[in-house]
């Protein structure tokens, strides 16, 4: 069974086998407002944990999406090019950004679980 983990920058990551699906959290999309554009990484790109991986633009601001784990981008959500609002409507489902073949699965264990992330967000106040 896959488990979702979270970063302090409000990305979520869900590992299935050695491939992790990455998106932004509901909290992040609510802070951004209406998403109008998403720039996805090219398939084959090597991403480093904590490094820039994608860009999301809303009516309020543009924001980096950071890679929660290191690895190779193996898929991107092309639907976001024509339907960027999917990030707002389905942030932890159909609004995912990219998939990474994880180079170090231990990196996921160091991320927050759902309870820790919820407490983190509540502490932002």
- The pTM of this model reads 0.95
Domain count for the chain: 1
The token pair that represents 20 in the structure block: 């992790």
Residue 54: which residues within 8 A CB-CB, separation 6 or more? 38, 39, 40, 41, 64, 65, 97, 98
Per-residue pLDDT of the chain (125 residues; tens, 9 = 90+): 468 999 999 999 999 999 999 999 999 999 999 999 999 999 999 999 999 999 999 999 899 999 999 999 999 999 999 999 999 999 999 999 999 999 999 999 999 999 999 999 999 97
Residue 77: which residues within 8 A CB-CB, separation 6 or more? 40, 94, 95, 96, 97, 98
Q: By the 8 A CB rule, do 47 and 73 touch?
A: yes
Task: Give the structural domain span for 38.
Answer: 4-112
How far is Cα of residue 101 from the mean position of the Cα atoms in its chain? Answer: 14
Residue 118 lies in a domain: no
Residue found under tokens 């898929």: 75
Residue 50 lies in a domain: yes
Residue 124 lies in a domain: no
Residue 122 lies in a domain: no
- Domain of 46: which CATH number? 2.40.50.100
């Amino acid at each position: 069974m896959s488990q979702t983990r979270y970063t302090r920058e409000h990305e979520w990551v869900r590992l299935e086998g050695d491939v992790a699906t990455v998106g932004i959290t509901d909290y992040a999309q609510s802070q951004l407002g209406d998403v109008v554009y998403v720039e996805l990484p090219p398939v084959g790109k090597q991403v480093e944990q904590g490094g820039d991986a994608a860009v999301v633009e809303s009516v309020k601001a543009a924001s980096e999406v950071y890679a929660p784990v290191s690895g190779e981008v193996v898929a991107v959500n092309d639907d976001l090019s024509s339907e960027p609002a999917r990030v707002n409507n389905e942030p932890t489902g159909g609004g995912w950004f990219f998939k990474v073949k994880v180079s170090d699965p231990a990196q996921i264990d160091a991320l927050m679980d759902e309870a820790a992330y919820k407490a983190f967000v509540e502490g932002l106040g």
